[in-house]
Amino acid sequence: MLYLLLPDLGMKWIDLPARMVLEGARKRKLDLGGLNWELSERRADDAIVGLALRSGLPCSIGVILDAGEVSVLDHPGDIRRAHAASAAAQEKLRVSTGAMMENIMPGWTADTARLDELVAESAESAIARAEQERAELLALPIKEEVLEHWRKIGGKAPIGS
């Protein structure tokens, strides 16, 4: 999937094999702006603009991004939300059935607490890896030709870029 970043920070998408299409467009110097893009509910933030300036492909109406790279930006938050939801569900279960479970299976409370600690450690480790991957992507140098194109079509570069 590809995203099209527009100068007003709106985004569009199209379901095509990203790497293949981007590679072919770069090689053949094709303008992908005329494809049948669909409006996205998503709007760009500074991180997405920064990513576009580092790895995007300019087109007549914006900058095209590999949606897989955009998902790298989202991954740490996605893991945090999933872990928080899981922890909340586990706490609700503990409150509603904890005494009964401890009565049926002595040691359940301690075992569950240990398991919760292991899950929390695993989530923190996954978040750290995802944040590292995100940071590496955003540490790539900005491509001057993409920045120049972005400004020319009315886009604003994020602070610090």
pLDDT band at 161 (very low <50, low <70, confident <90, very high): low
pLDDT cut 70: percent of the chain above it: 98
**Is residue 157 domain-resident?**
no
- Same domain as 125, residue 93: yes
pLDDT score for 160: 58
Q: What is the pLDDT of residues 62-112, one digit of tens each?
A: 999 999 999 999 999 999 999 999 999 999 999 999 999 999 999 999 999
User: How much is the average pLDDT of 15-33?
Assistant: 97
Given a cut of 60, whether residue 23 has pLDDT beyond it is: yes
- Whether 15 and 66 map to the same domain: the answer is yes
Tokens 């590999």 label which residue? 66
pTM score, two decimals?
A: 0.83
Q: Is the pLDDT of residue 159 over 80?
A: no
- Give the strand order in the sheet containing 10-14: 38-43, 10-14, 2-5, 62-66, 57-59
Query: Is 159 a domain residue?
Result: no
Give the total number of structural domains in the chain: 2
Q: What is the mean pLDDT of the chain?
A: 95
Which residues constitute the domain of residue 9? Answer: 2-70+141-152
Quick one: 93 and 107 in the same domain?
yes
pLDDT given for residue 157 in this prediction: 77
Q: Could you give the CA distance from residue 131 to residue 139 in angstroms, rounded to a whole number?
A: 12
pLDDT of 59: 98
